[in-house]
Structure 1
Amino acid sequence: MADQKLVEQIEAFVGREYGRVYAWDDVNAPMIRHWCEMMGVENPLYTDAEFAREAGYKDVVAPPAMLQVWCMGGLDNENYAPGSTDENSFEVLKIIESYGYPAVVAVNTELTFDRYVTAGENLYYTSRVDSISDEKTTGLGTGFFVTLIMPFYSKGEDGNDEKVGELLFRVFKFKPAHVAKPEAKADKAQAEKPVMKRPLPGVSDDTRFFWEGCEEGKLLVQRCTDCQTLRHPPAPVCIKCHSFEWDSVQASGKAELYSFVVMHYPEVPPFDYPNPIGLVELEEGVRMIAGLVGVDPKDLKIGQKLQVEFNRFDDRQTLPQFRPVAG
């Protein structure tokens, strides 16, 4: 049962509101275009200003799913635009952590949209602690679900700012299930802690060939047998000609680093941190997401040459990972 002092402290946070976080830049066409390119979105409303004007808008509009992007801090999550609040809307997590709940994991987000935002608008959001659950026990452990509501606004020239959407963001602050409880017997406390294993991938009729290839040290890419288009991740139908007929070809394993992220927090076992994850472009032209090994995250560079290697984990799964190579 949760400490009553903790419960009283965190209940006081419910309803607390935090100040504005401004966007660094106005909604703009280059960012919209880059986002659409990365996501494979081809709606001309987002990229063709003339088409957008004919549809009744002043300029191109941003895909609704970009709403959260405009006010992000950048690589440094705290690097907010001038004028933004310096308050930490997740300060309640520090309170919970001080009572012995060290881990955190994002549970879910929900975006709702009131209208399109148009190139040239400037956005900001505020935050409100919407709810904090009673102590809950899940497969991850025991802790509290903390939910924030973040309404987004467009700044009006006359001071009449307009709400354009809202983000619900929920995290779980918890004691990991594998951590021994303080009241455990001395002999159990000395027992070896269970080793966390990597989660197994979901395997379907469409993806089974890929994972079986990994077990054999082969990087297989799905190919449409009608138009010869390669595709990854595997899918039941060709994205180009819509044929259901396919086979697979073995890739060379040579690749370039197209993009990457480095995960720092939260630290979820059994992964090592910092944890670099790459979006790699194979020599054959398709892209896939994979772990990066044998490199200091600070040395990663877009365009870096990579080579696949297959690594075995927990004696139950083999994963393709990529290692930088000279040149």
Structure 2
Amino acid sequence: MPHFYSVKEAVFPFNKFPGVDPILSPEMKSTGEVMGSGDTFAEAFFKAQLGAGEAIPGLTGERKAFLSVREPDKTGIIEVGRSLLALGFTLCATRGTAAALEAAGLAVEHVNKVYEGRPHIVDLLKNDEIAYIVNTTEGRQAINDSSVIRRTALSRKVPYATTLAGANAVCMALEYGRGDYGAAPSGSACRSKSMNKVPMTVAGERSLREELDHLKSEARPQVIAAIAEAREHGDLKENAEYHAAREQQGFIEGRIQEIESKLSVAQVIDVTKLPKTGKVIFGVTVSLLNLDTDAEVTYRIVGEDEANIKSGRISVTSPIARALIGKEEGDVVVVKTPGGDVEYEVGSVEHL
């Protein structure tokens, strides 16, 4: 029997389909899978979420969790609420869930459902006041009513649990991340959603702005012209050119929204203007020596959306980057991988 836990996580391309309801359904297909391994389930789950690029609540700062669950889950949500309070969250909930939490002696703020009037939960999400959501539903009407919450949470990159089991797993992962289940990962990559800032290099920002300019000045006018031309052919129901152009327009507009959202929360860091202390920080280029194979590799630590392992760019949230942050030239780091621990010696640290 293995003396470790492994958690497999599916990777879904929700960011490619803005406006889609991310609730799980039978027709969903993932674009890949990742696996996290650790000495405990909490550690394995924590690493799996990071590996899949899933947002998880921040470990520090002011954080508010929104809870709204179906009637059968009212008892189980109490333990989730206690765990979140112990982790430093404040709680807000819809009327029925709040009543269950208050009956158990937990402090909770009341918040309106969308159809109950403003300010409601979607307003709080858009104002970046919510760091985590637990929302379980049943029945077609309830699922439809909560779809706007899921879509808004997705666009704002707010972590979202749709089952009590998932909510409890996230709480365990957060407890591990802050050290309650043993040593937390070096340079934990969990950022507070209340801060709502994402590190990005100057090159990464430039690339996004160039793509955005191309989409707005060239791709958008071209597809508008194609739609107008296709309309002239008549009978839109059987007009393949028209439907293809409209589909392309949807992708273009979705990508424009995605880029604008990324840029609005970007914290652009120019590493060339930071003091050269010899320590590994975001944006530096670091050379490493694999002490097992004597192979040398060079990586640049970049933002999540800039990472490209083939080009030597690794995400600041990757296991190796988390192990390197804060280390200096000559230090030895141990990176946990599914195949076992790998030791690297830090060589040069350059601000390029």
For normalisation by structure 1, the TM-score amounts to 0.25
Compare the two structures and name the one with the higher strand fraction: 1
Structure showing greater radius of gyration is: 1
Of structures 1 and 2, the one with the larger relative CO (CA 8 A, separation 6+) is 2
Structure number with the higher helix fraction is: 2
Give the alignment's TM-score, normalised by structure 2. Answer: 0.23
